[in-house]
Amino acid sequence: MTIPKKETRKGTTVRLKIGALTAGALSVALVASGCSKTTEDGGSGDDKKAVVQSGLISYDAADNKGPAPAVEGGVKGGNVGVLLPDGFEHLDPARAYVNVASLAGQLLFRSLNGYREDGKGKLKVVGDLAENPGTDVNKDCKVWEFKIRQGVKYEDGSPVTAADVAYGVARSFSKNLSEGPHYIQQWLADSKEYNATYKGPYDGGADLPPGVTVPDAQTIRFTFAKPQCDMPYAATMSTTVPVPKAKDTKTEYDRKPFSSGPYKIKSYAIGQSLVLERNPNWDGNTDPLRTALPDTFTWNFTLQADQVAERLVADADADKSSLSWVPVPAAQLAKTTTPEVKARVISGPTQYVWYMTINNNRIKDVNVRRALNYALDKDALLKAIGGSAAGTPATTLLSPTVGGFEKYDALPAPVTGDPAKVKEVLGSTPPPPLVLAYANSPRRAAQAEAARKSFEAAGFKVTTKAIDPTNYYTEVGRKDNPYDLYLTGWAADWPGGGTVIPPLFDGREIAETGNQNSAYFNEPSVGAEIDRIGGLPSETERAKAWAALDKKIMTDFAPTIPAYYDASYTLIGSKVGNAFQSDAFGYPSLMNIYVKQ
């Protein structure tokens, strides 16, 4: 290719001038748009909603009968838009696990149990498909019986039967549909490897999993080898969504699941949108949870998080009846502080708690662990990802969204850390060199940097180690992993301490790999207490006991550093009514939402 010949010499100086001019123009453009003063105030991301979760499992007739309580000011009609950047990976109830899939599932499906929420901290587990949250037949938590309500119909008008629920549970055993939660399957098989023997109703397998019986069309029974008093919670999960055998399209079920709820799929274009319309066969009298006021729901998958925030802040006509299932990115937070926008903010703690986990296999001295607790600057850790809208500093192992939560602080220190106290606690012990591992994404890298700085300010020598995000939890889940500190997050699968403390702090579960107890904390007394709590008769007592155990673990052993309670911060349009953050799922639930006319 011929490179053109030289231009006149004079022309070259002009180029320089133009270059300088461009730089100048760009700077003016940028400066002009950024010329306002940023001040400290203006922000409501803090735990204004430090509401303590109090409601639990309810067998009250009033809570368990349909129709759902009327929504004050609620009107029928309209379309609710949901802006969701990455779409759904799976809508199939056997494969859905993430919160957004569960929230969408609340409109499409009915599971045995469900959550009744009012946005004021009174979350209750009640029967959804079932008439009540489950009968403990022999009062030993081993046999659970659910009675399916009469009159619940699928989108084609056929009735929902107990056999369908059993089939739904059965197909979730298949290794091809394994992305969903495995609680019930593991309890039925009495083993972590839930599909070692029974592999689902395919390739010649039986239609009923072992331990599941269907005495009649409206009754289903689960028989577990060990007591599982949390079954009412587990029964809220999508594993118990009814799937008629004739409608099982296996891997295609993700695209078009068969609806048992108030809405059915009208259209689903992956990467584009999902539209739900009414299921004409849904009977509100059979449903204690949903008022199904809007006519349609439309999900938009094409926008990015910052675009979502911009649109909802702007609240144009097309977006007035929309909400989002993605937090407002840190950069856009400043735009949400005007009174008009502030009124449309939905925020609060989610089910996630983030811990700066200490590897107890390597850091065996409890005083060093306490010192690390005093050293960490939790404020900087949060600021690295956006400050108070991203979360609040934590002092407990359980999240405020869990039933029975009690606030305490075993190792009081300012949120920025207390280097003086670190020296005091360490005494003559020399601070060990530490390796802090983090998942190699921009957010976590920034947090690792903030953590490193705070530990070093307290006198520890810290090196950071980036781990590929695909591998992160596998690596720290290895018992012999060579790291001392790593940031891990844990979400309670249901608002009960039973999904937090046993998986994270029961040392008897520790294996070579695949550990969720990545603190590798192993205390026989704690293990015994866990067993004891599991056997307590009522959920209220258990909740109280979990909170007490939480405090004991941190006070006596300090196996980890509770870093922060994850918070969600989303926006809704001005015409969205009755939207509140679900304590179970961290974003606004759609079950009782409506469009203001």
Partner 1 sequence: MVRFVIRRLLLAVTTLFAISVITFLLFFAVPSSPATVMCGKQCSPEQIAQTEHRLGIDKPIVEQYGTFVKGIFVGRVIGEGDFIRDCPAPCLGYSFRTDEPVTDILGRTIPVTVSIVFGAAVMWLVIGVSLGMTSALKRGTVFDRFAIGVSLVGASLQVYFFGLVLLLVFVYSTGLLPTPSYTPFTENPGKWALGLLLPWITLGFLNSALYARLSRAQMLETLSEDYVRTARAKGLPKRTVYIRHALRAAITPIITIAGLDIGASLGGTVITESIFGLQGLGRTAVKAVGDLNLPIVLATVLVAAAFIVFANIIVDMLYAVVDPRVRLG
Partner 2 sequence: MSNTTVGSGPSKPGNSETAAAVLRVDPHPGEPGGAKAFVGRSPGQLAWIRLKRDRTALVSAIILIVAMVVGLSSPLIERITGVSPTDQFTDKLTSFGALPVGYLGGISAEHPLGLEPGLGRDILMQLVYGLRTSLFIAFAAAAISTVIGVLVGVIAGYARGWLDGVVNWVIDLALAFPFLIFALAAIPVVENRFFGARDEIPASFRVGMIIATFAIFNWTNTARLVRGQVISLREREFVEAARASGASTWHILLRQLLPNIWAPILVTVSLNVPAFITAEAALAFVGIGVTEPTPDLGRMIFNSISYISADPMYTFVPGVTIFLLVLAFNLFGDSLRDALDPKSSR
Site for partner 2 in 468-497 (CB under 8 A): 468, 475, 481-483
The amino acid at residue 502 is: P
Residues 6 or more apart in contact with residue 143 via CB below 8 angstroms? 136, 137, 221, 222, 223, 224
234-263 residues in contact with partner 1 (CB under 8 A) are 250-251, 254
Let me know if 442 is exposed, middle or buried by CB neighbors in 10 A (0-12, 13-18, 19+): exposed
Which residue lies nearer to partner 1 by CB, 181 or 419?
181
> Quick check: 178 binds partner 1 (CB under 8 A)?
yes
Task: Characterize 211-227 residue by residue with b for buried, 16 or more Cβ atoms within 10 angstroms of its Cβ, and e for exposed.
Answer: bbebeeebbbbbbbeee
The only residue of 206, 334, 420, 511 in contact with partner 2, by rule CB under 8 A: 334
Token pair recorded at residue 262: 């108030």
The only residue of 270, 334, 420, 528 in contact with partner 1, by rule CB under 8 A: 270
CA distance 493 to 584: 8
> Quick check: 179 binds partner 1 (CB under 8 A)?
yes
> Quick check: 428 binds partner 2 (CB under 8 A)?
no
163 membership: H or E segment, kind and range: helix 162-171
CA distance 409 to 143: 39
Token pair recorded at residue 18: 């133009």
The only residue of 46, 47, 89, 207 in contact with partner 1, by rule CB under 8 A: 89
Identify the three-state secondary structure at position 297: strand
Query: Is-contact 577 74, C-beta < 8 A?
Result: yes
The only residue of 44, 54, 158, 249 in contact with partner 2, by rule CB under 8 A: 44
CB of 309 to partner 2, least distance (A): 9
> Quick check: 59 binds partner 1 (CB under 8 A)?
no
Identify the three-state secondary structure at position 222: strand
CA distance 53 to 406: 9
Q: What is the DSSP letter of 164?
A: H
Q: Which one of partner 2, partner 1, none is in contact with 138 (Cβ closer than 5 to 8 A by kind)? A: none
Q: What is the DSSP letter of 284?
A: G
The only residue of 87, 227, 387, 534 in contact with partner 2, by rule CB under 8 A: 387
Phi-psi region of 275 (alpha: psi -120 to 50; beta: other; left: phi over 0): beta
CB of 453 to partner 2, least distance (A): 5
CB of 440 to partner 2, least distance (A): 7
Let me know if 387 is exposed, middle or buried by CB neighbors in 10 A (0-12, 13-18, 19+): middle
Let me know if 535 is exposed, middle or buried by CB neighbors in 10 A (0-12, 13-18, 19+): exposed
> Quick check: 339 binds partner 2 (CB under 8 A)?
no
In the sheet with 434-439, reading across from the earlier edge strand, the strands are 391-393, 560-571, 345-358, 485-491, 434-439, 462-467
CB of 308 to partner 2, least distance (A): 12
544-563 residues in contact with partner 2 (CB under 8 A) are none
CA distance 391 to 379: 10
The amino acid at residue 302 is: T
Q: Which one of partner 2, partner 1, none is in contact with 286 (Cβ closer than 5 to 8 A by kind)? A: none
Q: Which one of partner 1, partner 2, none is in contact with 406 (Cβ closer than 5 to 8 A by kind)? A: none
The only residue of 24, 215, 284, 514 in contact with partner 1, by rule CB under 8 A: 514
> Quick check: 15 binds partner 1 (CB under 8 A)?
yes
CA distance 431 to 362: 13
Which residue lies nearer to partner 2 by CB, 12 or 267?
12
Q: Which one of partner 1, partner 2, none is in contact with 179 (Cβ closer than 5 to 8 A by kind)? A: partner 1
Identify the three-state secondary structure at position 529: helix
Identify the three-state secondary structure at position 289: coil
> Quick check: 515 binds partner 2 (CB under 8 A)?
no
Which residue lies nearer to partner 1 by CB, 101 or 371?
101
356-385 residues in contact with partner 2 (CB under 8 A) are 377, 379-380, 382-385
> Quick check: 192 binds partner 1 (CB under 8 A)?
yes
> Quick check: 332 binds partner 2 (CB under 8 A)?
yes
The only residue of 21, 23, 70, 316 in contact with partner 2, by rule CB under 8 A: 23
> Quick check: 341 binds partner 1 (CB under 8 A)?
no
398-427 residues in contact with partner 1 (CB under 8 A) are none
Total site size for partner 1, rule CB under 8 A: 59
The only residue of 42, 77, 210, 537 in contact with partner 2, by rule CB under 8 A: 42
439-468 residues in contact with partner 2 (CB under 8 A) are 440-442, 445-446, 448-450, 452-453, 463-466, 468
Which residue lies nearer to partner 2 by CB, 1 or 343?
1
Residues 6 or more apart in contact with residue 383 via CB below 8 angstroms? 450
CB of 432 to partner 1, least distance (A): 28
Query: Is-contact 452 462, C-beta < 8 A?
Result: yes
Which residue lies nearer to partner 2 by CB, 402 or 437?
437
The only residue of 216, 340, 424, 468 in contact with partner 1, by rule CB under 8 A: 468
Per CB under 8 A, residues contacting partner 1 are 1-2, 4-5, 7-8, 10-11, 14-19, 22, 26, 29-30, 32-33, 89-90, 97, 174-176, 178-179, 181-182, 192-193, 195-196, 202-203, 250-251, 254, 270-271, 302-304, 307, 310-311, 468-471, 473-474, 477, 511-514, 516
